[in-house]
Structure 1
């Protein structure tokens, strides 16, 4: 991780356990880890969780920002502030998501819009802003999208079909970006991590195998630690243990 020492990573949601663990792990590796929270209350709760979680020295830095990623004006201002303070963004971890029951054919249109706004529109907006900083400075960059296995393996009798559709869309966006950056001759990697059920997701059956949060965060670090000439396109991650 020496190549990322003192480099800036933005994690788009610091309110869930995956985001918190990614922030902490990358900060301990010497990065300036910046997490977004939708409200001041979320930011304060995350600060407390990070304090409780951290029991070893952090070589880098953790910065938490109040930012609603669906608010484009606020999002642009937040990225401008980060770029002004730290010269740019080097890594983006798109971790924010909205997972609610909504059928494509009959679901509430308000819920439909909320899922699409967070899972697709905001992710693309964050990606454009981060990639713009990388391309302008002609520096090495990496964008990691935390996805879901449902984009590849559609569950039977699911009520979260709009969520599934949004995650399938991001799988396509990930591959499109990889080709676009190659066309633009930008030194930016793009990786899609599709996760199965994670241990903090209480809505899943207790008998269902679940991923450990720390393993997802470890994988993010592992992918960032690959040699510059290697591209990890996507990883399908699930647990074999109950």
Structure 2
């Protein structure tokens, strides 16, 4: 699992920050220089940060815990959806509904309602209803699935949350912190890096930049899942050997 190179980050535009007038002074340690009124991010700090964040995510995955991926910005949605699905992690990429974490029991009821509608649409239960009623339920299901589909299998509050653009997703970060979850985020020059546990300085507006960072973190999660699988196999094998020797 190779960490992105300095050149790969450069090619993806990870170093481009916001206009100087929009900067957050707390990002000062992560800014390399200013050019044409735009802050440029220090990619050496970015590499250090993704290494730290990747190691933490690997340990979380190895422990069998979940990481919630959140990215409702248009340019990041598809990338984050694909990334989360690749490692079977929950995700929110349409819009953050208030209380998704802090009022999780209510959200679970909505998910069950969505799943019941889906079941009725597919098992013949609604064969006797009118086309209009069926269309109404289909539209309701589509609307709910758009918001809740990515967390439909999430049975409990995740251990951590990964966010693209912590300013845009401030509600998600606030809920996660309230519940004591570990927080990871791509942090641009207009954000406060101290508001998350693992700040990854980088351009959160460009798809390529989001992709190169997110894909590396996914590879770290994959490694953690593989280590967990190996540990399970070793335990199972050890148990079989002990049983055999006992006989």
Shorter-chain TM-score bucket reads: 0.3 to 0.5
TM-score normalised by L of structure 1: 0.35
Whose RCO is larger (CA < 8 A, sep 6+)? 2
Q: Which has the larger radius of gyration?
A: 2
TM-score by length of 2: 0.34
Write 1 or 2 for the structure with the bigger share of helix.
2
